[in-house]
Chain A
Amino acid sequence: MNLNALWEYANPKKFIATTDRVLPFVAWMAALLLVTGLVWGFFFTPDDYKQGATVKIIYLHVPAALMAINAWLMMLVTSLVWIVRRHHVSALAARAAAPVGMVMTLIALATGALWGQPMWGTWWAWDPRLTSFLVLFLFYLGYIALWEAIENDDTAADLTSILCLVGSVFALLSRYAVNFWNQGLHQGASLSLDKKENVADVFWYPLVVTIAGFVLLFVALVLMRTRTEIRARRMRALLARERMQA
């Protein structure tokens, strides 16, 4: 495979033409997997012997937390592409992904609190993973606000890319906080390449389906929002030209 062919998609017209074909398929697959995974997990899995019915929250909490971190990492990659190659589509893709990542972080925080209250006896604790997730949420808010605050698109892309690099420390910290500090209430990873660390199969299979649904939902939303950002940028450019000619 010729990796250089990937740069073709940095052309906004090519990007929109390709996503015209891909987006409906990704969106329908996301809906199908999400409905299947959530219905399977909610209606057709047993209660956990320790956590009772609260284990059903895993089908929302784990995929959302996973996407919250990975959305930021995707933004890191596209921001680096912007810094190095100055492709507008990559900067706009990072901008498009931020609200999706923010909502995923919010879902992870909310479901974590709702799960934590009956299991730990508290909605919130200044636990390493919880705290790093809260900081990640604040980084998302700051990143979105920075894009909105700066009128010049290139300057906004430069500054938000730098913010993204800084925030990546917290994105990684959110993922590995449990390993770094052997303290706090939050348990270790629910999914691992090591089968012994995974949740039981009866929970694991619907969880994997739901995670696939969340991943595709993220891809579909980012593709759609990137197309919107490309069009919005073109419109701003046209309006600016009109003003110059007037």
Chain B
Amino acid sequence: MIPDLGKYAVPVLASYGVSLLLIAGLVWASLRRSARIKRALEETESRRKSNG
């Protein structure tokens, strides 16, 4: 249950919305890049091994 924020509901909820969205976006982008680079490095290393 959301507390009664009175006339300040818009700025308070907007602050939480914007901040949580930015944090979630940052975490998602970091995880996605981490997984992509890890996979690409593993592929590159295995290709080099198979090529001798």
Q: Is the CB of A118 within 8 A of B6?
A: no
A141 to chain B: which residues have CB within 8 Å?
A: none
A99 to chain B: which residues have CB within 8 Å?
A: 26, 29
Q: Is the CB of B19 within 8 A of A53?
A: no
**Chain B contact residues: helix, strand, loop or mixed:** helix
Beyond A103-B26, A115-B11, whether A53 also contacts B3 by CB under 8 A is yes
**Chain A contact residues: helix, strand, loop or mixed:** helix
- Report A27-70 residues with CB < 8 Å from chain B CB: 38, 42-43, 47, 52-54, 56-57, 60-61, 64
Binds B, one of A74-82, A126-134, A181-189, A220-228: A220-228
Q: How many residues of B contact A (CB 8 A)?
A: 31
A 226-240 to B, binary, CB cutoff 8 A, 1 in contact else 0: 011001101100110
Q: Which of B6, B14, B38, B48 contacts A114 (CB 8 A)?
A: B14
C-alpha gap A114/B19 in the complex (Å): 11
Q: Is the CB of B48 within 8 A of A57?
A: no
Q: How many residues of A contact B (CB 8 A)?
A: 36
A194 shortest CB reach to chain B, Å: 27
A168 at the interface (CB under 8 A from B): no
A73 at the interface (CB under 8 A from B): no
Q: Which of A38, A64, A106, A228 contacts B34 (CB 8 A)?
A: A228
Q: Which of A43, A111, A238 contacts B15 (CB 8 A)?
A: A111
A 113-128 to B, binary, CB cutoff 8 A, 1 in contact else 0: 0110110000000000
Q: Is the CB of B37 within 8 A of A217?
A: no
A207 at the interface (CB under 8 A from B): no
Q: Is the CB of B34 within 8 A of A224?
A: yes
C-alpha gap A114/B12 in the complex (Å): 8
Q: Is the CB of B44 within 8 A of A238?
A: yes
C-alpha gap A242/B31 in the complex (Å): 28
Q: Is the CB of B19 within 8 A of A228?
A: no
Beyond A53-B9, A99-B26, whether A114 also contacts B33 by CB under 8 A is no
